[in-house]
Amino acid sequence: MTMVQFNSNGGSASGYQAKPPAGRGPGLILIQEYWGLVPHITDLADRFAMAGYVTLAPDLYHGKTTKSPDDAGKMLMALNIAEAGRDMKGAADFLLHDTSVTSKRLGIVGFCMGGQLALYAGMEYPDAFAAVVDFYGIHPSVEIDPARVRVPVLGHFGKQDASVPEAAVRTLATAINDAGGSMEYHYYDAGHAFFNDTRPQVFSKRDAELAWTRTLEFLRRHVA
């Protein structure tokens, strides 16, 4: 478990890398919520590593984090999507050249803002990513073209999450599937950020455990 540097946007970017106990395994990119690269995300990277994945969580805010929802919202809106995309691609290239990574392509998993960005990365860089897992993804500046989503997608959403309407998810999934792609999704009797165990007011242990099991099953099918 360590911070690493990788090439991106004509310079360098950083991220938190965690490796499995065996030292080798398929590769995974983990994308932050709008709070930044906070301990919850690095803990998740460690958890994915314990599940067998060489995991890298790029720092899309380049050192900035916050606990304030207002500040997090401002940081989300200030994010340059094209630059964030190149950061995700730079992180992917770094992993794909890491000799401890055994897969030819990577999985990418994101939460909240990161869920939408993971979907964007899967759309933009299908040569790097073999599968996308989107946890209640939302970002008003990230547009998804269903016809360009060619990698399998798994989505997790909360029935009580007003920020991600169920109708919008169904419309997106139908459009992706009709265009020849693949998006499966699950709805849980929970709200936004139900997977975040550092936020007891929204965390749902039962739903998080089920989503975790489904995520690992999905990744095992597609990332090898």
- β-bridge partners, 157: 187
* Residue spans of alpha helices (H) in the chain: 39-50, 69-78, 81-96, 113-124, 166-178, 205-222
Instruction: Give me the average pLDDT of each 10-residue run along the chain (224 residues).
Output: 92 97 97 98 98 98 97 97 97 97 98 98 98 97 96 97 94 97 98 97 97 98 95
The number of distinct structural domains making up the chain is 1
Single-letter code of the amino acid located at 103: S
pTM, two decimal places: 0.97
Per-residue pLDDT, 224: 87
Unique residue bearing structure tokens 């606990």:
67
Return the bridge partners of 16, or none.
3, 57
CA 151, 161, 156 angle in degrees (round to 5)?
30
Q: For residue 51, what are the domain limits?
A: 2-222
CA angle 179, 180, 182 (to 5 degrees): 105
Q: What is the pLDDT of residue 169?
A: 95
CATH for 170: 3.40.50.1820
